[in-house]
Homo-oligomer: A and B are copies of this chain.
Amino acid sequence: MTEILRGKPVAEELKENIKKRVEALKEKDKTPKLAVLRVGANPNDLSYEKGILKNCANLGIETVVVEKDEDIDTDGLMAAMQELNDDASVHGILMFRPLPKHIDEKQLQEAIAPEKDVDCMHPYNLAKVFASDASGMEPATPRSAMEILKHYAIPLKGKRVVIINRSMVLGRPLAMMMLSEHASPMICHSKTENLPELTRAADVVVLAAGRAKSFGAEYFNENSVIIDVGVSMADDGKIAGDADYDNLAETVKAITPVPGGVGSMTTTLLLNQVVKACEKTA
């Protein structure tokens, strides 16, 4: 019988923990505050932002949204970032990416105060993630995957983990987090040969290719643990993960659903970093 690794109970547990820590901070006259820095107003950003603001309100975290016109230049956005860096009431800054092409995103990444960089884009935080040093800020999605594995007590020490994604926001940082737990991570991608052979031999497979329902039974066995980070629109118009979920349930050991798996936790992990940032100033 396949175990369904739902994100909700993990997120709920973390939310309770966050609420207590926010209360403790408020007793010391500190209120965690997240600043969202956004250029333009595309519907995806607005929808993501709405979820964040709602979650912040529920957890007692203050928010401020700084919206800039799409024709702002690099210097203008750098000035907005500097203002948030200098604002002692702001503990975390989330700048929506990608930025319009005429803006030098790299300058912004290096300009954010590392201690407020809750989305982990500053080189200082990336270098720490690379070294499996958890003292800095971490990207929320790979940490969500790690929290789910921890919550459901999936063994990692000594185990093989195949990660199908090599991005800076998921595959690479996740591999480094896996090393902290003494797993052996392999980073795969579209050019990897004989992928089904590799995934079948793995203890944990992390899917994040972004191809709806494209990983079927030939990629797994009855001992596979699948962490599905894919989120795309399937042919039926519904949101689906990379795993061919309906045809896999009952054939693998454990799997995260989409929606309701890793994606349902990332905002909570992001807000956890805001509270951590505030705690460090207390």
Contact = CB atoms under 8 A, between A and B. Distances in A.
Nearest to A168: B131
A193 interface: yes
B179 A166 contact: yes
Interface stretch (A8-16, A56-64, A153-161, A248-256): A153-161
A269 to B, nearest CB: 20
A131 B168 CA distance: 6
A185 B160 CA distance: 12
Contacts of A157: 191
Interface stretch (A44-52, A75-83, A122-130, A143-151): A122-130
Contact of A129 (B128, B130, B184, B193): B130
Number of identical monomers bound together in the oligomeric complex: 2
A18 to B, nearest CB: 28
B184 A189 contact: yes
A188 interface: yes
A188 B182 CA distance: 9
Nearest to A195: B184
A163 B179 CA distance: 13
Interface in A92-129: 110, 123-124, 126-129
Nearest to A179: B166
A184 B190 CA distance: 10
A179 B184 contact: no
Interface of A: 110, 123-124, 126-131, 157-160, 166, 168, 172, 175-176, 179, 182, 184-189, 191-193, 198, 201
9 contacts: A126-B127, A127-B127, A175-B187, A179-B187, A184-B187, A184-B188, A184-B198, A185-B186, A185-B187
